[in-house]
Amino acid sequence: MEFSRIYDYADMIRTTNPGSTIVARTSKEIEPSKEIFAGIYICLYALKTCWLEGCRRVIGFDGAFLKGVCKGELLSCISKDGNNQRYHVAWAVKGLVQAVYELMPNAEHRMCVKHIWSNWKRTWGGEERRKKFWDCARASFEAFLKVKLDELPELSGNKIIKDLLRYPKQSWCKAFFKDCSKCDVMENIMCETFNSWILTSRHKPIITMLEEIRVKVTERMTNMREFATKWISDISHMALGYTEEQSIRATKHEYKWNGDTEFEIQDGIYKHIVDFVKKECTCRMWQLKGIPCSHTFCAIFLKKYDTTDYVEHWYKDKTYFKAFICCIQPMANMEMWTSTQNPKVEPPVITKMPGRPKKHKIKTQDEPIKKFGKRSRKRTPMTCSYCKTTGHNKKGCAILKEQSSSAGVGSSIANAQATTAASRCHSSTTTDAGSWHGRDNLSLSDVLRMEIYSTSSHMDFSMAKDGILLIRYTAAVVQIPQYLTGIWD
């Protein structure tokens, strides 16, 4: 079992990555003579150093259940980089959430709005209520929030507001978020993506799982470092796209300049004030995100300022590169570790639950459902057995259909010609069926058509393009007349 070498694993990380914080805890409550695994916390030196240098002061916490024999919970600590992508800070097996509240009691604690909606919709579901709920959560100033809250009783009465305000507004509404972090994120998507990113690793033993996570984070640090060298501007791709979007919205606003550093912007029924000295707008989006809002862009266009001068340094290329400048050092596998005198750790007590263990997350109705166990269909190019070209089969061959249609027309013509030949033959003076008296004006093809037409109605015949008579037999056998055999001989 890998649990027995958990202390050795902690020593190897400290040796290969000096300055890293790794704490392994055990418990003797169940059996005093044995050390039972209780938890492990890992924060590599490269990650915590680069996070302090290049990332905004916001971190998300979430847990994911382990799928192996020994059940548990893997807790992750994920932040946001300058491109609004996830940045891995630390991970632990149990015990991380309690430490956050103990060590950082004065920090702003936000709740995932998506999880609040999942709980709130059990009583107040429906598409209209969902739209109103998200409008309230995205409201960046209190006047707009009040308007959206007043619209809720129109759907379900006053009780719906009381149930919503049971959740502290400071933890889920942008209007009450602090602006020191320069991050307006409301959902804990960064941790959700991390949990899905390590899904296969969560099925494996403890050290194998932790090593796979370390290797994946190492590769991501390298890839992001190379990505930073390919930027086309001084700000991140996300910030560049956001500024372009806000500049388009700014064309719909009316603005007035007071002649100093403040501007008055008319946006619908609201009138906002932009102050360039304080870098503030009364809509609060500039302060929350750290990137100029559409109201600020009105003033930027008027004064012909440089947009990048008013974007926070967290989104600049130099700061972004600092977040990935450090490298995580490699480490040998468990078979190459030296033997130590560390005590052997026992795995936690396995409690087998009734029923078959679930492998996949049970998603809610509004979540996109991913189809597992389905392979994408690879279409093999078809080859026509008639014309030998790809893209269709014999049934859909256009050349064969064209020939079949022309053959059908020829059959009708041949029937008409056979009827004419028969009438010509009967109108002539015929004394003997086997003689050629009175038939000198008939060609061989006329006689053959006449005889076939008169002997059987169970065959289809037509004249091909080269003058050869084509005969299709269906249910009858044609008797060749005696007077024709002499000619064919």
Buried/exposed code over 78-100 (b: 16+ C-beta within 10 A; e: otherwise): bbbbbbbbbbbbbbbbbebeeee
- What pLDDT is attached to residue 473? 43
Pairing of strands 345-346, 35-43: parallel
Higher pLDDT, 401 or 331: 331
User: What confidence category does residue 386 fall into, taking pLDDT thresholds of 50, 70 and 90?
Assistant: confident
Reported as type and span, the H/E element at residue 224 is helix 206-228
- What pLDDT is attached to residue 194? 92
Residue 229 has pLDDT above 60, yes or no: yes
Q: CB of 40 within 8 A of CB of 24? A: yes
Reported as type and span, the H/E element at residue 263 is strand 262-267
- What pLDDT is attached to residue 479? 45
From 196-205, 292-301, 360-369, the region with the lowest mean pLDDT:
360-369
Q: Residue 404, Cβ neighbours under 10 Å: how many? A: 10
- Maximum mean pLDDT: which of 141-150, 382-391, 404-413: 141-150
List C-alpha distances in Å: 85 to 55, 220, 306: 10, 11, 25
Mean pLDDT of all residues in 371-384: 67
Q: Look at the block and give the residue holding tokens 């707008």.
A: 281
Q: CB of 21 within 8 A of CB of 89? A: no
Residue 470 has pLDDT above 60, yes or no: no
- What pLDDT is attached to residue 489? 36
Q: Average model confidence (pLDDT) for the chain? A: 81
From 31-45, 216-230, 240-254, 396-410, the region with the lowest mean pLDDT:
396-410
User: What confidence category does residue 431 fall into, taking pLDDT thresholds of 50, 70 and 90?
Assistant: very low
DSSP string, 57-81: S-EEEEEEE--SSS--EEEEEEEE-
Question: What are the tens digits of pLDDT across the range 60-86?
Answer: 988 888 887 778 888 899 999 999 999
Question: What are the tens digits of pLDDT across the range 265-288?
Answer: 999 999 999 998 899 999 999 999
Buried/exposed code over 286-320 (b: 16+ C-beta within 10 A; e: otherwise): bbbbbbbbbbbbbbbeeeeeebeebbbebbbeebb
The alpha helices in 17-64, defined as continuous H runs, are 45-54
From 105-109, 158-162, 224-228, 375-379, the region with the lowest mean pLDDT:
375-379
Reading the block at residue 273, the tokens are: 């004030």
Residues ≥6 apart with Cβ < 8 Å to 308:
233, 234, 235, 316
List C-alpha distances in Å: 395 to 87, 382, 398, 404: 56, 11, 9, 12
Residue 41 has pLDDT above 70, yes or no: yes
